[in-house]
Amino acid sequence: MLDTTIAGSLPKPEWLAEPEKLWAAWRFEGEELKRAQERAAAEWLRHQEAAGIDIVTDGEQFRIHFVHGFLEHIKGIDWEKKTAMGIRDNRYTVQVPTVTGPVSRPQSVHLDEVRFMRARTTRKLKFTLPGPMTICDTIADDYFESRPDMALAFAGILNEEVRELAAAGVDVVQFDEPAFNVFMDDVKSWGIAALDRAVEGLACTTAVHICYGYGIEENLRWKDTLGDEWRQYEEIFPALNTSRIDQISLECAESRVPLSLMGLLKDKEVMVGAVAVTPDRVETPEEVAATIRAAMRYVDPERLYPCTNCGMTPIPYEIALGKLNSLAAGAALVRNSL
């Protein structure tokens, strides 16, 4: 009960890539890079286990970015043809590659990483991938007729990938969909359908992570414009509650999301963000426990998974480590009091 997990990413150690930066370049290449990534992932695995995190991840140590780390291996994308795109409804502008033909997956993208992790832990293993809608919002399109068409094409590819990862021993497959609380109408008309396609026929647990982004300046500015109550989830949770997805991850710590919105997910398991992804402060276990207890007013402990608000890529290594420890300790406080 109250099994802890993280949204996915963890900071790269400074010997692997420039710290506290998104899209930081690797300090190695080729086989040397692979060994270095494995070393970093193994270190974070030990940290998660030592902290007492129940469902562990590779901390996304094998990828530079949560979307492009997958897309780099997909055919039909021209990486030379860069387009400036205002992603997440123009919250930030990024030079993105362009889809120029039918998309396909020549071979498994993350199987080696999953095998590496599976061989090193007996805990439940989670693996994260970008969701179809967020992929479509992070790549330019010169081929498909529409975003829904492109999303379904990527959903088919993601489905091939996650079936392989599940067969290799992944317990939880999670799709990251930060675009879900930006394009709420699209979520209802095609986003959830694409997500359902991505998990079709999958035997393992499935999850979707929907956040307000990394704790970077662009996101903090955006959050300031959202008013006293962040009610984006209210528009999509009823539809998500009838989807195929088993677990929904949302922000709670230091957010202005009314916790009552979790009441809209009666048939789902809920990953409650109980530590914020801010770079400067580690929550105390008591603060984490208070967030979990507040969430328990709307979600029974059997369905509640204490989690981080979002990925921790851009925050200092030691802060992330502290947050892992507080997350597990805070959940233990609540568990022991039940």
Q: What residues line the site for Zn ion (CB under 5 A)?
A: 211, 310
Q: Is-contact 59 44, C-beta < 8 A?
A: yes
Q: Are strands 247-251 and 205-209 parallel, antiparallel or unpaired?
A: parallel
State the minimum distance, in angstroms, from the CB of residue 27 to Zn ion: 25
Q: Is-contact 199 206, C-beta < 8 A?
A: yes
State the minimum distance, in angstroms, from the CB of residue 223 to Zn ion: 13
Closer Cβ to Zn ion, 132 or 156, answer by number: 132
CA dihedral angle for residue 234, residue 235, residue 236, residue 238, rounded to 10 degrees: 70
State the minimum distance, in angstroms, from the CB of residue 311 to Zn ion: 5
Closer Cβ to Zn ion, 211 or 296, answer by number: 211
Closer Cβ to Zn ion, 130 or 285, answer by number: 130
Which DSSP helix (H) or strand (E) runs through 270?
strand 269-275
Provide the 8-state DSSP code for 135: H
Amino acid letter, 228: D
Q: Is-contact 194 137, C-beta < 8 A?
A: no
Both tokens assigned to 38: 């494995």
Angle CA 66–289–173, to nearest 5: 30
Closer Cβ to Zn ion, 125 or 211, answer by number: 211
State the minimum distance, in angstroms, from the CB of residue 24 to Zn ion: 18
Q: Which of 110, 81, 60 is nearest to 308 (CA)?
A: 60
Closer Cβ to Zn ion, 265 or 310, answer by number: 310
State the minimum distance, in angstroms, from the CB of residue 63 to Zn ion: 14
Closer Cβ to Zn ion, 99 or 324, answer by number: 324
State the minimum distance, in angstroms, from the CB of residue 211 to Zn ion: 3
Q: Is-contact 62 14, C-beta < 8 A?
A: no
State the minimum distance, in angstroms, from the CB of residue 66 to Zn ion: 8
Closer Cβ to Zn ion, 154 or 214, answer by number: 214
Q: Is-contact 309 273, C-beta < 8 A?
A: yes
All residues at 6 or more sequence positions from 194 whose CB lies less than 8 Å from its CB, including other chains: 131, 132, 133, 148, 151, 152, 154, 155
Closer Cβ to Zn ion, 98 or 309, answer by number: 309
| DSSP count for the chain of H helices, then E strands | 12, 10
State the minimum distance, in angstroms, from the CB of residue 6 to Zn ion: 11
